[in-house]
Structure formats: C-alpha cells, structure tokens
Amino acid sequence: MQTLNIIGAGKLGRTLGRLWRQRQVFEIAAICNRSLPSARDAATFIGAGRAVDTIDTMPDADCWLIATSDGQITAVAGALGRRAERGHSVIFHCSGALSSEVLAPCRPAATASAHPVHSFAAPESSLQTLAGSSVALEGDPRALDILGSAFTALDCTTLTIEAENKSLYHAGSVFACNYLTALMDLSLRTFAAAGIDRERALQMLQPIVLQTARNNMQLGPERALTGPIARGDTATVATQLDALRAADPQLAQCYRQLGLACVELARRGALPEDAAKTLTELLEEPSR
C-alpha cells in the first residue's frame, strides 16, 4: 500500500485521509498542520498518521496531499521542492482555482491538482456524502493514474481538464455552491425584513429550495425557471423592487442583477421579446 503525507489536514484533508485509510487506498504516514494540537486532532479523526508541525520533520512518502488554503500552496511547494526524495513522489493539491503549475518547484515529482466538486463544510457528513461526487483532475499522467484510482475507490467520478481552464471551471462551481449559499442568506434577510424569523423562514424554504434543485437537475434551468420574470409579470417585479429599496438597498441591487440573469434565461424559454425588453429596462434602472 502506498504511503500518503497530508499537509494542512482541515475539513477536506481529514475527510479524504479517513476515507482513504478506511478503504485501504493509502497508509497515512504523517500529518502536518500549523500547530501540533491541530495535527493531533486531525490524526485522531483520520485514525492514523504521526502528527507534526513542520514539513521538515515529515518522513518520505509515495504521495503528498497539500490541503492548505490556496494562498499557502506556493510556500508549501517551495518547501517540498527542497526535499531530495521528491523525484519519486506524487505531489498534488485540491484547490479548485489553481492548476498543478503552482507545484513546479516540486518537480521532477509527478504533480497534479484534484478538486472534488463537493462541499466539505462538515467532515462527519462528507464521510457519508462524498461518494458520487465528481473530481476534476489535471497534471502529470503518472499522478493522474494514481489519483484516478484513489478517487474511484471512494466511489467518485473523475474527469480531466486542461490547466488553463481551471479558473473558469472553478468559477462554475462557485456559482452553483458558494453563490447558492449567498442567495439563501439574501432570502433570509428579505424574510427578516418582512417580519419572519430565521427558523420559520428556513422551514418555509426547505421544500421549495430542494424541489427547485431537483427541477434544475432533471429539467435544466430553462424549464425549471418559474416566478414573475418567467411569466413576464412586470408589475410584480416593480412592486418587489420598491419594497426592497425601502427595506435594504443592497437587497434591491442584488435583485436587479439576478433579475437580469433571469431575463436572459427566460428569453431562452417562452418569455416574449417585448416583455423581456420591458423587464430589462426596469431592472437596469438604478432608481425610480
């Protein structure tokens, strides 16, 4: 069994480390976090690995996972690049935005990036839900071969992308995941302005949000879109804009920008062009 060192065992690193240990894909050798207590806590969660707080004290390993924040990857790559045994290793990171080129100091090691399209907000939950997720891979062929097998063993689906497309790929994930979370917050803020408390609002939203997600997956966005813009209901949109301006100008600004995106989407459906133009003029107007 190949050995794996983990640098930066946060939510993602802990989840992958534990799953790979349980599936006997990798033997976890060492875990390096910025503090020794954090590394020990990660080792306890994973169920294996020697906790250390410096890269220099980590043993040699067949594979190295850099699971730090994006801003730390360059420095970690530089530190690993000074290790004599790196030529026989596979070194990869899990950033969605950065390509394997950031690991250039580690060569002649085989380098790669592997980004799971999954939200690791809670490692305990991700242990159960990671299966079925897609993982975008790019990098050296030897690294991709090993990582493809490693993620397949976790019941994930892999795809390969070009390094120059990483930023666009990751932005697509941000829209669907991070911005969806921001939309939920905007919705809760709007309900709060209407006098509906957060707990009640979440109860109200859960069925429609989950159904909307299912509709988008099954029907596609064009057919899943409903509401006043899809119907060309300019009067309702104008009334809502007035109410939002009075409650919170930022909510009104977000409503306008998202509304313009909905108009373009509705144009690909059944929205008449004259209604689309009227809605666009209304939503582009900063104030009335």
pLDDT per position as a tens digit, 140-174: 999 999 999 999 999 999 999 999 999 999 999 99
Query: Residue 197 — left, alpha, or beta (φ > 0 → left; ψ -120 to 50 → alpha)?
Result: beta
Mean pLDDT, residues 198-226 = 96
Mean pLDDT, residues 257-261 = 97
Share of the chain above pLDDT 90, in %: 95
What is the bridge-based pairing of β-strands 90-93 and 110-116? parallel
pLDDT confidence of residue 286: 64
Q: How far is 132 from 158, CA to CA, in rounded Å?
A: 10
Is the model's pLDDT at 288 over the cut of 60? no
pLDDT confidence of residue 83: 77
Is the model's pLDDT at 285 over the cut of 90? no
> Could you tell me the CA-to-CA distances from 265 to 170, 224, 260, 268 in Å, in that order?
22, 10, 9, 5
Letter for the amino acid at 89?
Answer: S
Task: For residue 70, give the H/E element and its range.
Answer: helix 70-81
pLDDT confidence of residue 88: 77
Mean pLDDT, residues 122-129 = 96
If one compares 285 and 193, the residue with the highest pLDDT of the two is 193
pTM of the prediction?
0.83
pLDDT confidence of residue 22: 98
pLDDT per position as a tens digit, 39-62: 999 999 999 999 999 999 999 999
pLDDT per position as a tens digit, 235-256: 999 999 999 999 999 999 999 9
Question: For residues 61 and 109, is the Cβ–Cβ distance under 8 A?
Answer: no
pLDDT confidence of residue 43: 98
